[in-house]
Chains A and B, each alone.
Chain A
Amino acid sequence: MSTRKLLTDFFVLMALTTNVSFVVNPNGIELFITVVTNLAATLLKVGEGRILSAELMATGLVADLHLIPALYFYYTGDPAESVSLAWGALAANVVSVLLVVIDTVLKSSVEEE
């Protein structure tokens, strides 16, 4: 088991769960934690030798580019816009989690060969 993979997968999943909780019940601290976990997941993906690393990086960046403006809008008095951006990030985070699962399955089949 790779510690780095564990950490990355943890943050990818955590980004999704905090994203869901913000969308369901908008709260500033929740949004902040979502941004922090998303950015951590993206930074940990840099140079990671995964099969789908480019796709994972791209989805992570998409989520970041939705959530950072969402944070700005939330604290500048437009929470509705912030929630709609967070929905966009949620879609990207769902894809990220799916990609992590696919990547893990692919990697294990390669190792078996």
Chain B
Amino acid sequence: MRGQRGRRRIRLRERYERRFYEILRELSVPLVILHFTLAVGTLGYMLLSGGDFINSFYMTVITIGTIGFGEVVRGSDTTAGRIFTTFLALGGIGVFTSTITVIARVLFKEELQHLWRRLSMMNAIDKLEGHYILAGFDEVTAELARLLERRGIPFVVLDDSREGLARIAELRLPYYLPEAPFEQETLLAAGIRRAEGLVVNLGDDARNISIIAVARLLRPDKEGFAIYSFASSPENAARLEELGANRAFYPGRMVAGRLAAYLFHPESDYLVALFDRLAFGEETDVDLMEVAVEEGSPWAGRTVGELRAELGANVVALRRPDGRLELDVTDRHVVKPGSRVLLFGRTARLEKLRARLEDAHEHA
């Protein structure tokens, strides 16, 4: 049993805690020396005064602390008492000042403060649920972090590169781990078991593949845990999807696509920009949402007109159970079970509708 424990991987938190106590360990020897100096001083004055502990301890503290209020304990004004005080002051003052120096040096150590901050952050990450993990933090991921923040979606950033850490410090991100993102321990510490998804952007495909492989080992279910990755070419994007990513993006194609939308619809500039912002999550007030209408749902079998009146949101399209998109929806269209309704409206209202429908499905 012990052998198994010896071979087990050391968790990230454990590693931080060990290092934290290792640093604090530097305090123990100076503190023990100070402790014994105080003990010898107190014991000496106790013997001189016939057992007056409180005053003996006080006398020792004011002697080695260079306060020197006077000879407050009985017996300290005798020849033996003064010889004892002389030697106590000679040794004790040095011990006291050097111990204070060591304590200040250790407590103000940057590494100790970093470890303390990381441990507190890990406590906060442990409470997160349904969050996203962003592995790698370049300009693109920083922009993504900004969008997630605007939507109030929690995320944890993993990056150990100098540039990434500088960017993290600049943006004052609430949750990050300055560790190698493809390590299993880092992903576990980032709460991968409770996370909603992972965004992989480590700069090269080999590193992206390694993190996707580790993440899929920990969360094999593609439905329950989505992995989105960046790829250096359209061919590699396809490979990353085969290897476990739900979707892999070639950034060049994405930017070109967005730009092309403006070029192809020069007369609908406003509409293109609105759909662009909706699609990329930049518009927070209004949104498009796709809601599944399952068997037993209160929406199943109702007409689009009834839904429009009841929901206060626009039903802009329907996806039939066979996947066909119905764009010309009139009020008379009936929503069959298994279809998906495309709603357009205020984000807050859409979220409420989704919650209401999920609740109805649970109780159906």
Contact = CB atoms under 8 A, between A and B. Distances in A.
Interface string A98-113: 0000000010011001
B359 to A, nearest CB: 45
A36 B36 contact: yes
B28 interface: yes
Interface in B29-65: 31-32, 35-36, 39, 42-43, 46, 51-54
Given A32-B46, A47-B21, A40 B27 contact: no
Contacts, number: 56
Nearest to A76: B54
A14 interface: no
Nearest to B38: A36
A10 interface: no
Given A43-B28, A46-B25, A47-B25, A28 B53 contact: yes
B6 A110 contact: yes
B24 A46 contact: yes
Given A32-B42, A44-B28, A71-B53, A49 B18 contact: yes
Size category, A interface: 20 to 34
A9 interface: no
Main secondary structure of the interface of A (DSSP, over half): helix
A67 to B, nearest CB: 13
Main secondary structure of the interface of B (DSSP, over half): helix
Given A33-B43, A75-B53, 18 more contacts: A28-B53, A29-B43, A32-B39, A32-B43, A32-B46, A36-B35, A40-B32, A40-B36, A43-B32, A45-B28, A46-B25, A46-B27, A47-B26, A47-B28, A110-B2, A110-B3, A110-B6, A113-B3
Q: Which 3 A-B pairs have the closest CB atoms?
A: A47-B25, A47-B21, A36-B39
22 contacts: A28-B53, A29-B46, A29-B51, A32-B39, A33-B43, A36-B35, A36-B39, A40-B32, A43-B31, A43-B32, A44-B32, A46-B21, A46-B24, A46-B27, A47-B25, A47-B28, A48-B25, A49-B18, A49-B22, A75-B53, A110-B2, A113-B3
